[in-house]
Structure 1
């Protein structure tokens, strides 16, 4: 499957404009990685640091009653969250580019939901972004409900302050390229736990609230419609997206470098095994995401949008 000439031209234009920045960024990242590894290994050569790691190995024993294993619904959540995140990033970058939308959509106010005020006209990328947001929020609500209904929250919500020094220990072990000993089928290490907690209970709500403020459904009048709140939302929303991307990148790298077959089985097949079933499901999910990225083009989006409103452009 090939991209359209317009997409190819825009990609080439972006590369010409950002090539120097990308190359310098890559070089800086590589140098920073090497420095971090060297410093971490030097620190681990200090007896006091090794004693700290022995005292805090990076894993906090789970509370009594914590469920063992990863349920099937969490495997589906992995795919759905990644799927929506990929498309949200695509549409977010389109919106951030501030180019004229390739089309506009206006809701049909003769059908439910009807409003007193005339519907606002939305760019096609914004329309798609809002729909993705709504579906992603639905997935998130389902996740949180199941998380607490099944007791899985005990795996990602810290309940002991020992998680802090253990997270520092785990970070130091990762940085020195000597992975902390843990079995994520039973318990996450402290750094994983803090990361998952931050994603679910801090970053996701921030993305939701700031996204609502920037969306067309936010009241256009009143004290909450000030330019100041919009600037604050913009200042937070984009960094949150970068956080999600950074988390996803690190998450994938660590999964693939710390027993990929077993981790992918746990994440996608809800099985604690070393066969290729989880990898196959993961690979299929990646194909689906790539196809979705490629086919989510203005012509297709406009045809879909036309089913619920008037499309122009």
Structure 2
């Protein structure tokens, strides 16, 4: 148990820590029907015709070896590291999920339209209910780093491990393709499907089928399971992860539509997590049931032997992975800044070279606008903002200063006279929800043109009337490069009407190649500065300072 001060305890360890899973009954019925149909067919076949015959491939007879056999060192080591990285991804992914514990098949994320939720709460309709209000607690025994609203640190661990997962996968696939080991996994005949069904009938009727020695090959059902895990589930988990990138989706909306939309991709991403978890459980169960000691010798030592050395070394390896979970949890809470910086050092160069180069193109239409977008953040408590709100922001003036030749103060009317920019784009929140909205305002390119920043100014800091989660003025920064991308603006209109207060009135920032927390609401003033390092704690924003979010969240 981590000991929190009062402010952090309120956020991370709330009184309401209930956990519930609710699933749309249509999906429950469909799943149960599929499972029942498969098991019923298996039992009907057994009762009516007996257990189907399963012939062992003669190539898998250790006395007649003609195909691949054994486990080379590259297989054994990638197996271990894949287990490490995959379980770290699952644990951090669950913490990310609980920051918006609802999954949808629609990109609007309309309240109570989810197909599954991991919270006992329905969205209340009698008051403003923000996305942060909706975040739920997850025990650190399951999630990394666990507790509630720890999405910044969870993302850091997720992205650190995803590179290890991808690299391990590349090494494994290259090894398969450059040796004959691919024959273990890749089906070469359609007959494998009938053989896999015969094997399933045995399992479904609680009978172990004839098992080949795993040192030499797998039965048909195992081969299909391994093939699906390596060549379908792993790539699909990566591709659906990319479909949650605002930079990619607002540049190429068609990419997310390959998976049914951004939220469908998020749902599929979760189902891959479930699939990997189920695979691990079934995989380990079968290893135990079909000769635990011998199987551990295969994958740990690369030997077809009956000694207990492989078993003990394998259990030691599992213990190392569990210790890695514990260490990652402790480091997340003891040294969060170091984890944030480690993730930045790994991820930011990749993003700068790839996703950050993409400029948004806006192809959404008015009929795609979401009926409602989740509000987020606390309304400003400052009396000057309330006074401006009460008179319709008539006397509001945006202050523009810092390293500029022409400091400015602009009213909303003056901004309209300068020129109106419009866009319809998808908003992506770090918590996981999305929504499509039309925005109207003054482009950041026009502000840059009018203020004429000095060459030393590379960053723009946007300051809010609102506060951060732990108090203090909310702010965030954007590079001038991103501020000049299409659609970047200070919006005073949303969906054809004046911006409402819960969405950031009088002005909110829009930069469509990044996640929503970078888009400051209730903007009071902006300053041109040399770098994000000279503002706040030097991390690039209030959430980056206090909650360890990313400086450049293109995904």
Kindly indicate whether the alpha-carbon contact (under 8 Å) linking 1:167 and 1:190 is maintained by their aligned counterparts in 2: yes
Structure 2 spans left out of the alignment, 5+ residues = 5-11, 24-34, 101-131, 136-150, 346-538, 547-555
Aligned residues: 274
Structure having greater relative contact order (Cα 8 Å, sep ≥ 6) = 1
Are 1:193 and 2:223 an aligned pair?
Answer: yes
Kindly indicate whether the alpha-carbon contact (under 8 Å) linking 1:156 and 1:194 is maintained by their aligned counterparts in 2: yes
Kindly indicate whether the alpha-carbon contact (under 8 Å) linking 1:157 and 1:197 is maintained by their aligned counterparts in 2: yes
Give 1:263's aligned residue: 295
Kindly indicate whether the alpha-carbon contact (under 8 Å) linking 1:155 and 1:188 is maintained by their aligned counterparts in 2: yes
Give 2:80's aligned residue: 79
Going by fraction, where is strand more abundant, 1 or 2?
Answer: 2
The structure number with the bigger radius of gyration is: 2
Distance (whole Å) between structure 1 residues aligned to residue 215 and residue 202 of structure 2: 20
Q: CA RMSD in A?
A: 3.5
Give 2:309's aligned residue: 277
The one of 162, 165, 168 aligned to 1:133:
162
Are 1:143 and 2:142 an aligned pair?
Answer: no
Structure 1 spans left out of the alignment, 5+ residues = 22-32, 102-121
Distance (whole Å) between structure 2 residues aligned to residue 266 and residue 207 of structure 1: 28
Using the size of structure 2 for normalisation, the TM-score is 0.44
SS of equivalent to 1:231: helix
Distance (whole Å) between structure 1 residues aligned to residue 182 and residue 78 of structure 2: 14
SS of equivalent to 1:186: coil
- Per-residue CA deviations over 1:121-167 (Å, capped at 9, x if unaligned) read x9232122122111100000000000111210001111011111110
Kindly indicate whether the alpha-carbon contact (under 8 Å) linking 1:156 and 1:196 is maintained by their aligned counterparts in 2: yes
Distance (whole Å) between structure 2 residues aligned to residue 11 and residue 276 of structure 1: 47
Kindly indicate whether the alpha-carbon contact (under 8 Å) linking 2:42 and 2:200 is maintained by their aligned counterparts in 1: no
- 1:201/1:12 CA distance change after superposition, 3 Å: farther
The one of 177, 186, 194 aligned to 1:165:
194
Give 1:210's aligned residue: 240
Give 1:17's aligned residue: 19
- Per-residue CA deviations over 1:18-74 (Å, capped at 9, x if unaligned) read 4999xxxxxxxxxxx9x998985674343x233xx22xx064455995212121221
Mean CA deviation greater in 216-225 or 284-293: 216-225
Mean CA deviation greater in 206-215 or 141-150: 206-215
Distance (whole Å) between structure 1 residues aligned to residue 13 and residue 312 of structure 2: 33
Distance (whole Å) between structure 2 residues aligned to residue 200 and residue 11 of structure 1: 39
Distance (whole Å) between structure 2 residues aligned to residue 231 and residue 243 of structure 1: 18
SS of equivalent to 1:312: helix
SS of equivalent to 2:50: helix
Distance (whole Å) between structure 1 residues aligned to residue 340 and residue 185 of structure 2: 38
Kindly indicate whether the alpha-carbon contact (under 8 Å) linking 1:58 and 1:190 is maintained by their aligned counterparts in 2: no
